[in-house]
Structure formats: structure tokens, C-alpha cells
Amino acid sequence: MLPIPIEKTFTYAVTDEEASFLKKGMRVAVSFGKSKMYTGLVFNIHETAPTLYEAKEIHQILDEVPLVNDLQLKHWEWIASYYMCSLGDVFRASLPSAFLLESETIIYKNDTFKEESILEDDEYLIFEALQHQSQLTIHQVAKILGKKKVMPLVNELIKKTAIYIKEQIYEQYKPKLVKYVRLHAAYNSDTSLNMLLQELSRAKKQREAVLTFFQLSTTKKPIKAKDLELKAAVSPTILKSLVDKNILEFYEIQTDRINFEGDTNALKKLNEFQEIAVSEIKQNFKEKDVILLHGITSSGKTEVYTKLIQEVLDAEKQVLFLLPEIALTTQIITRLQVYFGEQISVFHSKYSMNERVEVWNNVLENKTKARIILGARSSVFLPFSNLGLIVVDEEHETSYKQFEPSPRYNARDAAIVLAKLHKAKILLGSATPSLESYFNAQQKKYGFVALNRRFGNVQLPKIELIDVKEKQRKKEMKGHFSDQLLKLIQEALDLKEQVILFQNRRGYSPVVECKTCGVSPQCPNCDVSLTFHKFKHELRCHYCSYQRAMPNSCSACGSNTLDTKGFGTEQIELELKDLFPDFKIGRMDLDTTRGKFGYQKIIGAFEAQEIDILVGTQMLSKGLDFENVSLVGILNADTMLNFPDFRAHERAYQMMVQVSGRSGRSKKQGNVAIQTYNPYHKILQQVATTNYLEMYKEQLQERWQYKYPPYYRLIKITLKHRDYNKVDTGVNWLFKALYSSFGELVLGPTAPAVSRIRNQYIKNIVIKIPPKQSLADTKNKVIKIRNTFEAVKEFRPIRFIMDVDAY
């Protein structure tokens, strides 16, 4: 199997001796094409010589033991066939790139590596060569050493961390740092303390802070800077000036795995509802392999998972815990680490190469420190040998679906298949299940367990809908805020509670328009208007990285009458700063979280209550748990409802209920205020009453009526090319061909809402597959048509993308 998008596997020749050593799942270096060298994977060992080509010899065996096991190979085959992609695509997506050296792979020296003494002679030669030349390809390494078989040597250099290979430089997962204060070394005896207090007799606030510090130190626990500020009722500047005077000093402690070394804590005692849920789940698992846990927000699903995880660990089996987005879920990671400490490994495609290689090997060897894998979607590819349980948290999340590049898989569905291969159980959890999972539960395909009480019996938040049209008419809007929302914010702030405001658009305003001629500045590469970002005074495209300075005048008519329309998070943040000048406003969207540890910084600051009001996009809907939030405001519900997609209403419901769920989680019932032009919209009514079942029934009815999932399946075909006419001709040809096979079940061709991205024109065709029609037959027919399409010379340059379950 080669890590390239080619349907077939290839046969290579091995000697008797090699054949007796080789096993399925080992890597071999092989040449392919004219002069290319790849890392291939042994998929099968057989004695049938190929008829169409002569088998080349393999170059070298790269592993002593298989790197990929049989269950994985079976899983890959399922993915390739279900999602209509090549095995090579799955192979490449599955393995950390460090495992896939090829002749063109570029290596670099690791400048922090200093243990040159551990390098063998040949290894040192290459390491030294990299002092003179900033990079080398594997091909050049072979030349320098005067031999062909160099991949194991390069692998060894990577293992010893002397070099790294070119890939995106990823951020490493860094634990969150918490700021603490202690007394400066100069002041540790009573005498100096008295002097100190005298010295500060005229700085009242500083004196207060020092006194409070001594009160707090009697507990002998480390003192958080934030706690001291709160207790002494002083601002951070006061502490800072005490530090400047060398009276106090700041230090940091990692609130992370480092802390948990060898140290685990007992699981929390479940309340009666959680207990019932756990026993129902266990009961259900006797008959069903998949269970949907529908637990409302803050019902304590995480604690239910931990109970089940513990039992699987006791049976010495592996656990996979899937999360939609690692960066946003550090809270859950920390919570699980408190219980399971060293047995947890976190896996994420954005981790550094070395970390990913390390986790891979630990899972492969079934090490105790990789008994529980917490990971985003790509962790379904790890070499598990002994899975007992998979948990898919927030199973409804779109981030489980990979849209680009191939394989375009849904990790939740791939995990269900993975569990089956391991004869393991799988639990899907959500407060707002996807329609298809709930449907499967209703059809008794999955088991079903509900958890309908918030932990601590706090009630679900009180949700009110605010009619913006009405408010505008009565002149009760200030900027984008209704008087009612402002009143609720003020009340929360007065009680020292925190507020979350949700606006699902970033930037200042999504459209700039000339008042004289009506023209909007467009992206030169995409078919979309540019978004205005006020802080940087820029226009940006949210589809490609294009940006330019905001012009002073209209480029079409020259008048200086450019105006902004619509609003994003940046505008809300600025308005809030005017409205609440004494409070700290934070913003969480793609623009503010881009930097190093951007998410953790903002989440951490909000947790530490350094931020009073947090404005953000859908990132805020992802399972965050803040105890002091008593109000969630949704500034404009309508954009979500008007999105042109068959799932728009389901998604809008999920997003709003999830965001609302951040309110009032710990002490008392929270509030939610939703501003809309459409207060009678049925989805908003369902959100306001958290009536999942009604939403489900209505949506399901529409799905049946309009032939959509979960009844009909969808395969989406996308064609892309720089030349509009080429795509257009291609798509029309394709449509005719598909139509003759599938008739009315083929929809299109259509241009998506943004019909050109990065200078590529885009056309879509959707094929609907009725409940009783064979999926395999349909796919075979589609593949035949694609092959014919690709055989037409003028269509060959067109990108042909197939996406199964493209939602």
C-alpha cells in the first residue's frame, strides 16, 4: 500500500528470507514511478505475480515489528470503501508524517539537540552536514553517505530528536499556568514584617493586600494572585506595585499533567440520577453495542463517562475518548487527568511530530500511560489492539466530520465501526443529539439513556426571546443591544457574575457597501465580499487569506461614502467597551485565538474571572464549564436560521441550546436572552422551551418530505477548476451521465453560496440514495461514471471530489 491517492495496492518482490521475516503492517521502502522512493506498508504477502507489470524488488524493510495491526487494516478498508477514497489516502491520513519518509521528504537539524555523543558515525555525518546546509532531502542523504538504504538511519535520527522533518510547525500542547504570589525572600521574619507594615502605613491599599496575604498564608497553601486580589479587594496594579517594591513576588504553577504524576484522585460520588444512568447504560450494553446518552447541559455526563471508563480500565482494556476540538476542551482534559493521571495520553493532529510518534508507539505497545486516549477525530486511526470502550462526547458536533482533504470521514461513525471490530462498546453523548443518532436510537438500532436533571438540581436557564423589530420601533435599541439585554447584563455584573455574549460572525462587519453606488469590495480570489476588521483597519477574506487596507473611497465611483453593514464580534466588543467602561471585556473568535495558546489564555482568564463579559463565536458552544456565568446573550439568532442548508435548523437549535447551557451551571438558575427579528420562529420557540423532542419530530418530518438523511443518504460530488467554462462543461456532462443512471435522485448542478474560492470555480451535484436502494451498488455505479469522466482528456485537470454523508 502506498501513501498516494491510487486505488490499487502494488506487488513487490521479496526474497524467501525477507518473506519469512515480513509481516502485514510493516513498513518497507520501495521505489515507485521513475525515481521516487516511498514508505509503503505491507498489506498482504502472497505468491501471485502481477500480470500487467513486473514486480520490482523492495528496497528495504523498515520495521522489526508491525507498526499497523490487522484491525487497523480492516478499519482502513472500511473507510476507503464507505467514503469512496483510496486506501493510500487513509494510510497517509492515519500515520504521523514522521513514519512516512519518502525520497523528497526534507529534513532539518534540531537546534536544541546537544547530545551529539549518542549519534552513530553515519548519523553524525548527516547531523554535521545539516550544520552547513539548512535542509536535506532523503535523496541527498543517500548521496552523502554513498548508499541507497538510508531510511532507517533517518528514522533513528528522528527518534533521537537530532532532526525533524518539514511539516507545518504545530503548536505544542502546553499546560495552563496559574499565577501565584509569595513573600519576597527579604521578608520572612516577624521583625521585618512589622517594619514592612510601617513602611506601607501610607499606602493603604498595599498595606491591606499584605495583611490579607498573611491571613491567607496561615492555611499554608499556595496563594493565587487572583484570590488575594478578591479577598483584599485590591486591583492587580496594587499587587504589581508590591512586586515592584520587592515585597511580594509572582510565580507560576502548571495546573496540568505534571501535577498529576502518579497522583490520582477518587472519582466523584454520583448523584442518584447519574447512578441510574450508569446502571441503565450497563444494562443496555448487554444487548446493544452503541448507546446514545441524551443528557441535558450540565447534567454531569463527564462523571458518568468516568465511572464507565474506570470499569474498562479495571478490565485492563483501552479507552478512546473522542472530543470535537482539543484546543477548546482543555477543561475536560484536566478533569479526566485528575482521576486517571498518567494513564491518559492526549492525541491531536496539531501536536508536534514527536508527540504524535510517541503516542502512536505507546498505544501500539499497549503501555499503561496510553490506556486512555483523549483525542480529536484523527485518533480513531491509532493502533489500538484491545479497545473496551469508546466515548464520543458531543456526538452532534460537525468537527467530527473531515471535509478536506480525503478521507472525508465522520469520526463518530468511523468510531462505531472501530468499536465493532474490537467487540468494544461505544457511548455517544450529547445534550443536543444529531438527528441521525436520535433516529437510530428510536429505531432501536442504538440503546438509549436519558439524564434529565442538571447536577445539583439547578434548573435549566430561563430563556427569553427579545423582538428586535419591536425594540427598534420603540427606539429601545442602543447599538446592537436591546434595553432588556442591557438590563440583564447590568444585573449580572452588579452581582459580580459573568456574562457570555454570542455572535456567530467575527470581524467588525461582514459587508462594506458604498452608499452612493451600492458596490461592495470583493475578494479578488473568491466570490465573496470582504469583511471589515476595525482594529487593524483592514478588509479580509474569510475564505482565503487575502487582506488589504480599508480604502478611504469607493473603488467603483470614487465617492468617500463607504458604509458598513451587519455586525461581528469585534463591533460588539467595541460597543460593550463604551457601554460598560468599568468592566473587563474579552473576545474569543478565530482572530483572538490564533496566537500561541490563544484559547487557553482566554478560557483561563475567564475562568479566573479576570474577564467580566466574554464575546465570542460558536467556539463558546463547545462544552465549556464556567461556574460563575449567570447570563448568556445571543445577539442575533436570525443569521443561523437563514443559512441555506438542510441541517440549518437542527444546527441552530444545537448551537443555541449549547450556548445557553453555559449559563447558571453551578449555583442558581441562569438567564438567557435571545435577540431576533423572528420571535415566533418554531426553532426559537423550541430553544426557549428546550424542547428537543418537538424539534426532532418536526425536523424529521421535513427530512422525510424533502428526501434527506436520516432517511435518504447523500453523496456529494464537487468539481473545481480555475477555468469556469471547463467546470461548467464538465459538470453538465457528469450530470447527464448520473441522471441516466439515477434519474430524479440527482440534484444539480448548482454553484455553492460562495461559488469561487482561491480562484477555483466550484460546482456541486448531489445524489440521493433512497432507504431501500443498495449503497454498494450505487457507489459502484458512481465510480464507473467517474472513471469514464476522468478518461475524457479535457476533463482530466478538473478536481473531482466525492463526499459521502457530506454533512
Cα–Cα distance measured from residue 795 to residue 313, given in angstroms and rounded to the nearest whole number? 54
Check binding of 10 to Zn ion (CB under 5 A).
no
C-alpha cell at 381: 486511526
Taking CB under 5 A as the binding criterion, the range among 118-126, 556-564, 568-576, 791-799 that sits at the site for Zn ion is 556-564
The sign of the dihedral angle between the CA atoms of 236, 237, 240, 246 is negative
Check binding of 297 to ligand ADP (CB under 6 A).
yes
Check binding of 343 to ligand ADP (CB under 6 A).
no
CA torsion, points 680, 685, 688, 692, in degrees to nearest 10? Answer: -160
Spell out the alpha helix ranges (H) of 459-597. Answer: 468-473, 483-494, 569-579
By CB under 5 A, name the one of 217, 264, 399, 516 that touches Zn ion. 516
Check binding of 341 to ligand ADP (CB under 6 A).
no
C-alpha cell at 317: 482494556
* Closest to Zn ion by CB, 522 or 741: 522
Taking CB under 5 A as the binding criterion, the range among 131-139, 245-253, 456-464, 525-533 that sits at the site for Zn ion is 525-533
CA torsion, points 400, 598, 461, 508, in degrees to nearest 10? Answer: -100
Taking CB under 6 A as the binding criterion, the range among 297-305, 365-373, 562-570, 671-679 that sits at the site for ligand ADP is 297-305
Taking CB under 5 A as the binding criterion, the range among 228-236, 393-401, 542-550, 566-574 that sits at the site for Zn ion is 542-550
CB of 269: closest distance to ligand ADP in angstroms?
6
209's enclosing H/E stretch is helix 204-217
CB of 268: closest distance to ligand ADP in angstroms?
4
C-alpha cell at 378: 484523527
CB of 26: closest distance to Zn ion in angstroms?
44
DSSP lists the bridge partners of residue 426 as 290, 390
**How many residues interact with ligand ADP (rule CB under 6 A)?**
16
- Residues numbered 370 to 409 that lie near Zn ion (CB under 5 A) are none
Taking CB under 5 A as the binding criterion, the range among 16-24, 106-114, 535-543, 610-618 that sits at the site for Zn ion is 535-543
| Site track 257-276 with ligand ADP (rule: CB under 6 A), x = hit | -----------xxxx--x--
Check binding of 339 to ligand ADP (CB under 6 A).
no
Q: Which whole-number Å values give the CA distances from 113 to 118, 119, 194, 278, 465, in the listed order?
A: 11, 11, 50, 49, 59
Contacts of 521 (CB under 8 A, 6+ apart): 512, 529, 530, 539, 551, 555
DSSP lists the bridge partners of residue 714 as 768
Q: What does 516 interact with, of ligand ADP, Zn ion, none (CB < 5 to 8 A by kind)? A: Zn ion
C-alpha cell at 643: 443559512
For 563, half-sphere exposure in the C-beta direction (CA atoms, 13 angstrom radius) is: 9
CB of 661: closest distance to ligand ADP in angstroms?
6
By CB under 5 A, name the one of 238, 554, 602, 673 that touches Zn ion. 554
| Site track 664-683 with ligand ADP (rule: CB under 6 A), x = hit | -x------------------
C-alpha cell at 16: 524467501
Check binding of 434 to ligand ADP (CB under 6 A).
no
* Closest to Zn ion by CB, 349 or 529: 529
Check binding of 522 to ligand ADP (CB under 6 A).
no
* Closest to ligand ADP by CB, 243 or 608: 608
Check binding of 330 to ligand ADP (CB under 6 A).
no
Cα–Cα distance measured from residue 426 to residue 289, given in angstroms and rounded to the nearest whole number? 6
* Closest to Zn ion by CB, 546 or 677: 546
By CB under 6 A, name the one of 82, 91, 340, 455 that touches ligand ADP. 455
Cα–Cα distance measured from residue 778 to residue 770, given in angstroms and rounded to the nearest whole number? 10
* Closest to ligand ADP by CB, 34 or 269: 269
Check binding of 544 to Zn ion (CB under 5 A).
yes
* Closest to Zn ion by CB, 9 or 525: 525
Q: What does 546 interact with, of ligand ADP, Zn ion, none (CB < 5 to 8 A by kind)? A: Zn ion
Amino acid at 754: V
**What length is written for the chain?**
807
C-alpha cell at 165: 522533518
Contacts of 62 (CB under 8 A, 6+ apart): 26, 27, 28, 29, 39, 151, 152, 155
C-alpha cell at 648: 440549518
* Closest to ligand ADP by CB, 278 or 541: 278
Check binding of 562 to Zn ion (CB under 5 A).
no
By CB under 5 A, name the one of 493, 541, 673, 715 that touches Zn ion. 541
Taking CB under 5 A as the binding criterion, the range among 85-93, 252-260, 548-556, 588-596 that sits at the site for Zn ion is 548-556
* Closest to ligand ADP by CB, 429 or 730: 429
- Residues numbered 604 to 643 that lie near ligand ADP (CB under 6 A) are 625
Give the 3-state secondary structure of residue 762.
strand
* Closest to ligand ADP by CB, 39 or 274: 274
Could you say which DSSP state residue 325 is in?
-
Check binding of 300 to ligand ADP (CB under 6 A).
yes
> What number of helices (H) and strands (E) belong to the chain?
27, 34
Taking CB under 5 A as the binding criterion, the range among 420-428, 512-520, 606-614, 780-788 that sits at the site for Zn ion is 512-520
Q: Dihedrals φ, ψ of 482, to 5°?
A: -80, 155
CA torsion, points 627, 628, 631, 637, in degrees to nearest 10? Answer: -50
Contact present, 661 and 442 (Cβ < 8 Å): no
Check binding of 783 to Zn ion (CB under 5 A).
no
Query: Residue with C-alpha cell 438509549?
Result: 448
- Residues numbered 569 to 608 that lie near ligand ADP (CB under 6 A) are none
Cα–Cα distance measured from residue 308 to residue 265, given in angstroms and rounded to the nearest whole number? 16
* Closest to ligand ADP by CB, 307 or 542: 307
Q: What does 543 interact with, of Zn ion, ligand ADP, none (CB < 5 to 8 A by kind)? A: Zn ion
Cα–Cα distance measured from residue 478 to residue 454, given in angstroms and rounded to the nearest whole number? 35
Check binding of 81 to Zn ion (CB under 5 A).
no
Q: What does 556 interact with, of ligand ADP, Zn ion, none (CB < 5 to 8 A by kind)? A: Zn ion
Check binding of 406 to ligand ADP (CB under 6 A).
no
* Closest to Zn ion by CB, 449 or 523: 523
Which has the closest alpha carbon to 198: 753, 776, 543, 190?
A: 190
**What does DSSP say about strands 799-804 and 135-137: parallel, antiparallel, or unpaired?**
unpaired
Cα–Cα distance measured from residue 11 to residue 34, given in angstroms and rounded to the nearest whole number? 17
- Residues numbered 167 to 206 that lie near Zn ion (CB under 5 A) are none
Contact present, 803 and 764 (Cβ < 8 Å): no
SS (H, E, C) 13-75: ECCHHHHHHCCCCCEEEEEECCCEEEEEECCCCCCCCCCCCCCCECCEECCCCCCCCHHHHHH
Check binding of 729 to ligand ADP (CB under 6 A).
no
* Closest to Zn ion by CB, 357 or 554: 554
Check binding of 759 to ligand ADP (CB under 6 A).
no
Cα–Cα distance measured from residue 158 to residue 148, given in angstroms and rounded to the nearest whole number? 18
CB of 63: closest distance to Zn ion in angstroms?
44
Amino acid at 753: A
Check binding of 543 to Zn ion (CB under 5 A).
yes
Residue ranges that bind ligand ADP, judged by CB under 6 A: 268-271, 274, 295, 297-303, 455, 625, 665
Residue ranges that bind Zn ion, judged by CB under 5 A: 514, 516-517, 523, 525-526, 541, 543-544, 546, 554, 556-557
